[in-house]
Amino acid sequence: MPTQSKEYYIRLNLVISAWICIALGSAIIISSGGSPFSFALASPLSLGGIIMLLLGLNMPSEKSVDANIISSWIPDASLLPDAGRPMYRIDTTLKEPIRTSVLCGRCSNITWIDGTKPNSYVCSSCNIVLWVSEEE
Ligand SMILES: [Zn+2]
C-alpha cells in the first residue's frame, strides 16, 4: 500500500528534521555563549523546528490512514488463472457493514453481497457456477 508508507515517511522525515533544527538552534546558542548574532541565527532555526515538530505530530497517524485504506479497499478486477474449473476469490469485510466481494476469475467481474459467503454462487455476468457448498 504505497499511500500508507508515503504518509508515514513524510511524517517521520518532518519529525526528524524538526529535531535537527531544534538541536542545531540550541547548539549555536550554547556554543557561542549567547551573543546577539547567534540568537538572530538560532531563533528562526529553533522556531522552524518547533513548527515542523508540531506539524509532524499533528499529521494523521499511521493507524487512521490504515483504517481508511482498509474500509475503502476493493479487490482489483483481475483475471485469475483457470485451473480446470472456474476460479474465484472471496473477500469479506471485518467490520460492519459485513459485505462480501466475489471476484469471478473467468470474467473478472466483482459482485458485492450483503453478509458473509453464501452457500452457492452463480456469477451474474457469465452465469458460471463458482461454488456450491456441500454442507447443504
Ligand atoms: Zn463471471
The pLDDT score that the predictor gives to residue 1 is 45
Distance 82 CA to ligand 1 centre (A): 12
Distance 29 CA to ligand 1 centre (A): 70
The pLDDT score that the predictor gives to residue 99 is 92
Amino acid at 93: T
Distance 91 CA to ligand 1 centre (A): 16
Distance 69 CA to ligand 1 centre (A): 27
Distance 74 CA to ligand 1 centre (A): 17
Q: What is the pLDDT along the chain (136 residues), one digit of tens a residue?
A: 445 567 778 888 888 998 998 898 888 888 877 678 787 888 888 888 888 888 877 776 555 556 666 666 666 666 666 667 778 889 988 888 899 999 998 888 899 999 999 999 999 889 989 888 776 5
Distance 2 CA to ligand 1 centre (A): 30
Q: What is the DSSP string of 4-48?
A: HHHHHHHHHHHHHHHHHHHHHHHHHHHHHTS-HHHHHHHHHHHHH
Query: Domain-by-domain residue ranges, the chain?
Result: 2-68, 74-132
Check: CB of residue 99 under 8 Å from CB of residue 93.
yes
Distance 113 CA to ligand 1 centre (A): 15
Distance 68 CA to ligand 1 centre (A): 29
